[in-house]
Structure 1
Amino acid sequence: MRRIVVDTDTGIDDAHTLLYLAGRPDAEIVTVTSVYGNCTEEDAIRNIGHVTRLLGLEVPIARGAAEPLRGPAHIAGYVHGKDGLGDLGHDRSLPRVADEPAPELLVRLANEHPGELDLLALGPLTNLALALRQDPELFTKYRSVVLMGGSGPYAPPGTLLMIDANINNDPEAARAVFAAPRRELVMVGVNVTARTILDEHAIAALKASGTPVARFATEILDAYLDFYQNEWGRRIIPLHDPLAAGVLLDPSFATAWTDGPVNVRGDGFLYRARLMRTHDGLPPAFPYEPAPPTRVITAVDALRFVADFVEVLAR
């Protein structure tokens, strides 16, 4: 059983992740904290409330960062809809929230339950960086920290990668996270999530199941499908955040990984978190900052994970 603290910028795939975690018998959602990203923090907290009410899940909910450590927030309303859940007009009333903000809650839970909880970060890493300012040893007190973000090692020449949005939204916070001491830090990046596809057949299977959870999961997909059809010419989506949850619960979904230092680097346009290795395992051709080892996932059993995801939500 994994007892999980979820930090989320609750867009469509974040909502799917909460549904997936709630349906897994080996997972317990301990608390959920909000952060900006896929939508504003205000919408993220409302979406947490909406999804937890749908699930009948009563857990502490805490408000987190509304903007990055530096600069304005970049909100991906063009991907997830302005409200983060596809602009379908759901009644997303504010949930009851904890008195303490998300960073303080992350610190308190880690100190009250050392080695017992897993931290799953699905959005920009601002809340985690703010929590590290309060307790620099924070990650040593979580059983593991698993984040959806990063771009893996440097790709083969000529390879293009999907935007590394959670890192790009707050590169300063990401640098603090990858530099912090930890028990186990796992990076599930766009190098693997972009290839883990919920295709037409899987979407049809979800719709056919008719359960309230599956019905909600497919209802909110349209905005996401509208965006990704421009990427692939098909109405299919990558399971970014759900895959990170799957790797946390069942590490065998990852079929290859490398442990090594991760740096956050910009190219003048975008920031990415990269394992400081080329695709063939060599160091990059420039100096880089030393950092404690991060487990960087480089390959996954995408078919098996997608089948599990569909089965859990349809059940």
Structure 2
Amino acid sequence: MTKIPLIISTDPGIDDIAAMTISLFAEKLDVKMIVPTWGNVALKYTLQNTLNLEKFLNTKVPIVVGANQPLVRPAISAASVHGKTGIAGYEFEKADTSLIEKGLAATKMHEVIQKSTQKVTLMGIGPLTDFALLFKQYPKDLEKIQEVVIMGANIGHGNHSPFAEYNIAGDPEAASVVFDSGLPIKVAPLEIGDKAHVTQDQMAKIKSQGQVGEMLYAMFSHIKEPDGDPRIKIYDPTAVGILLKPEMYTFKKARVDIELAGKFTAGASAMDFISDKSNAEIAVDVDTQEFADWFVDSVKKADQGRK
């Protein structure tokens, strides 16, 4: 089986930890590099969280330090949801910095893309700052990128503001660069994460999946949704699901433009599903039961692969 070469941009964050864990042990994926960026919490935390996760999982994927702030705007934070360090609920053993490759994220991603014998897939599960810098600094790399898979954006109302989803609102200018890149883009929007939840019974199954399951159970149990919803919503892993099991989703083509100037709508994702100039495929529905079964099974495989 030919594996998909993958670069992950991430801001862990609890659901990012789950998405990376699944990706690192997925048979169909060959994770070439992880680029922690600012996002849910500050870069110093997202970087250490990524290092700590790899130590816990016994993996050795290179890590490159990403952006510490958006392209233009002040950074925002989701520490109220994920905890001060981004991963409330579980205490990892602190890792050293040996997996960090020195250099700018855009340049190191460029090197991976140019060396690859296959087109590389990019997965963005945080603000898209580093992908935007890559596209601007190395525009010829676009020819060697298979697609971009994003967890972010929103069809209706947002979770950062009434009209904006957090990952896009964090760096709207970067998101605009990515959506205007001309690359094939698949999007797992906020609404899919809202629907792709797991029940308490399913969480119990996750907890029973060895140390990986216990780790994820502990963290997801500490998520505090701003709207008070008691369901365990699974956001960033929906992007991994698009890569590994796209048949779980229903997709529709849309033209996505990012609002940059609105007083009340900055960061909003304007999705036009009737445009003849589509630039993305949007997951508009997901089989909730199939997703939950896949998620539990993926955690089991990760725990088995870690040993």
User: TM above 0.5, one fold?
Assistant: yes
Inter-partner Cα distance in structure 2 for 1:208 and 1:113 = 38
- State the SS of the aligned residue for 2:49: helix
Inter-partner Cα distance in structure 2 for 1:301 and 1:139 = 32
2:211 corresponding residue in structure 1: 212
Query: Which runs of no fewer than 5 residues in structure 2 stay unpaired?
Result: 302-307
Shift in Å, 1:88: 4.2
Shift in Å, 1:250: 2.1
Change (3 A) 1:229 1:292: closer
1:253 corresponding residue in structure 2: 248
- State the SS of the aligned residue for 2:139: coil
Inter-partner Cα distance in structure 2 for 1:94 and 1:72 = 29
Per-residue displacement from partner, 1:167-224 (whole Å, max 9, x unpaired)?
A: 0000011111111122x21111112121110221111111133x01111111222331
Q: How does 1:1-315 map to 2 (within 5 A)?
A: 1-86=3-88, 88-96=90-98, 97-113=100-116, 115-152=118-155, 155=156, 160-163=157-160, 164-182=165-183, 184-209=184-209, 211-224=210-223, 227-228=224-225, 230-232=227-229, 234=230, 236-255=231-250, 257-265=251-259, 267-269=262-264, 270-277=266-273, 281=274, 293-315=279-301
CA RMSD of aligned residues (A): 2.0
> Which one-letter code corresponds to 2:92 in the other structure?
H
Contact 1:149–1:273 (CA<8 Å) still a contact in 2? no
Contact 1:77–1:84 (CA<8 Å) still a contact in 2? yes
Shift in Å, 1:314: 2.7
> Which one-letter code corresponds to 1:171 in the other structure?
P
Identity fraction in percent: 23
Contact 1:140–1:181 (CA<8 Å) still a contact in 2? no
Inter-partner Cα distance in structure 2 for 1:268 and 1:119 = 31
Shift in Å, 1:260: 3.1
Per-residue displacement from partner, 1:20-77 (whole Å, max 9, x unpaired)?
A: 1233222222210111111111111111111111111111100000100112211211
Question: Which is further off, 49-58 or 291-300?
Answer: 291-300
Contact 2:107–2:134 (CA<8 Å) still a contact in 1? yes
Shift in Å, 1:136: 2.2
Superposition TM-score, scaled by structure 2 size: 0.88
- State the SS of the aligned residue for 2:222: helix
Shift in Å, 1:86: 0.5
> Which one-letter code corresponds to 2:119 in the other structure?
E
Shift in Å, 1:274: 2.9
> Which one-letter code corresponds to 1:275 in the other structure?
M
1:287 corresponding residue in structure 2: none
Per-residue displacement from partner, 1:106-155 (whole Å, max 9, x unpaired)?
A: 22222222643211111000001111111224333112210111113xx4
Inter-partner Cα distance in structure 2 for 1:72 and 1:229 = 22
Inter-partner Cα distance in structure 1 for 2:124 and 2:215 = 23
> Which one-letter code corresponds to 1:191 in the other structure?
E
Question: Which is further off, 61-70 or 258-267?
Answer: 258-267
Superposition TM-score, scaled by structure 1 size: 0.86
Inter-partner Cα distance in structure 2 for 1:48 and 1:14 = 9
Inter-partner Cα distance in structure 2 for 1:195 and 1:44 = 26
Inter-partner Cα distance in structure 2 for 1:24 and 1:250 = 11
Inter-partner Cα distance in structure 2 for 1:222 and 1:271 = 29
Contact 1:147–1:244 (CA<8 Å) still a contact in 2? yes
2:304 corresponding residue in structure 1: none
- State the SS of the aligned residue for 2:15: helix
Contact 2:253–2:278 (CA<8 Å) still a contact in 1? no
May I ask how many residue pairs the two structures share in their alignment? 292
- State the SS of the aligned residue for 2:221: helix
Contact 2:153–2:268 (CA<8 Å) still a contact in 1? yes
